Amino acid sequence: MSKIFLLSVLLMLTSFAVKSQEVLVNKKDSTALKPVEKKVDTLKPKYINPGKIAGRRAMLRSAMLPGLGQIRNGFTFYRGLKVAGIYTGATLLTISFIDNNKSYHEVLDELNYRLENKGLRQNQLYRSVEEQGLVNAKDLYKRNKQIIIFSFVGLYLLNVVEAYIDARLKYFDVGDVAVKFSPTVINMNTNTMYGLNTAAPGFKVTLSF
């Protein structure tokens, strides 16, 4: 009887020891370990500068065809005058280049003829001109042609830059500006020693924003 009792007590203690050795795993919520992602509002519209876009388009158009950027900015009488000025300047430069180039080759041919024929003169226009004068004229016409070429490049770049600025200013808002002219009297202190003051009529300009 005592052996059965001791055996039952031993089995009971063994069962408690086995239960105490079981590892209880507490599963944590995996969502708590994840970093909180910030939501980005993708629906927020991005700011677009219309003046900058219009300026680039006008610049490219004027680069392809001078005056096109000014016309596409919106045709007005003022823009029409600018385009007319561009082509008038280009026409005058072209005529000047043709004239200087013709004179340059005439002088050069006369110089070559004199060198090959021991000073004999060919062109009646330069019969009274000495060789040194022909050399100076040749250099002058050559320099004029170079200046005209640089002027062509400058006119082209001016056309591109002006189209860009004109397009940017089209979208530039300065607000409400009021200009007021009013008559006034201006004191002209000519001689302060004797207290002589003279007044002159004038206009006063007032700007209100």
Predicted local confidence at residue 141, as pLDDT: 95
Q: How many helices (H) and strands (E) does the chain have?
A: 5, 2
Task: List, for residues 4-34, the tens digit of each pLDDT value.
Answer: 655 565 566 565 554 545 444 444 455 445 5
Predicted local confidence at residue 22, as pLDDT: 47
Q: What percent of the chain has pLDDT over 70?
A: 62
Residues 6+ apart with CB under 8 A from 151: 93
Task: List, for residues 143-183, the tens digit of each pLDDT value.
Answer: 999 999 999 999 999 999 999 999 988 877 655 555 566 67
Q: Roughly what angle, to the nearest 10 degrees, separates helices 131-170 and 77-116?
A: 160
Phi, psi of 106 (to 5 degrees): -65, -45
Burial of 107 (0-12, 13-18, 19+ CB in 10 A): buried
Do the Cβ atoms of 58 and 167 come closer than 8 Å?
A: yes
CA dist 127 and 107 (Å) reads 11
- Record the tokens describing residue 174, joined without a space: 């300065």
Predicted local confidence at residue 24, as pLDDT: 45
Predicted local confidence at residue 191, as pLDDT: 53
Residue 197 pLDDT class (50, 70, 90 cuts): low
CA dist 58 and 200 (Å) reads 49
pTM above 0.75, yes or no: no
Predicted local confidence at residue 178, as pLDDT: 57
Domain map (residue ranges) of the chain: 50-173, 174-209
Predicted local confidence at residue 145, as pLDDT: 96
Under DSSP, is residue 179 helix (H, G, I), strand (E, B) or coil?
strand
Predicted local confidence at residue 148, as pLDDT: 97
pLDDT at 82 over 80: yes
Task: List, for residues 99-149, the tens digit of each pLDDT value.
Answer: 999 999 999 999 999 888 877 888 888 888 888 999 999 999 999 999 999
Residues 6+ apart with CB under 8 A from 204: 181, 182, 183, 184
pLDDT higher for 35 or 203? 203
pLDDT higher for 66 or 24? 66
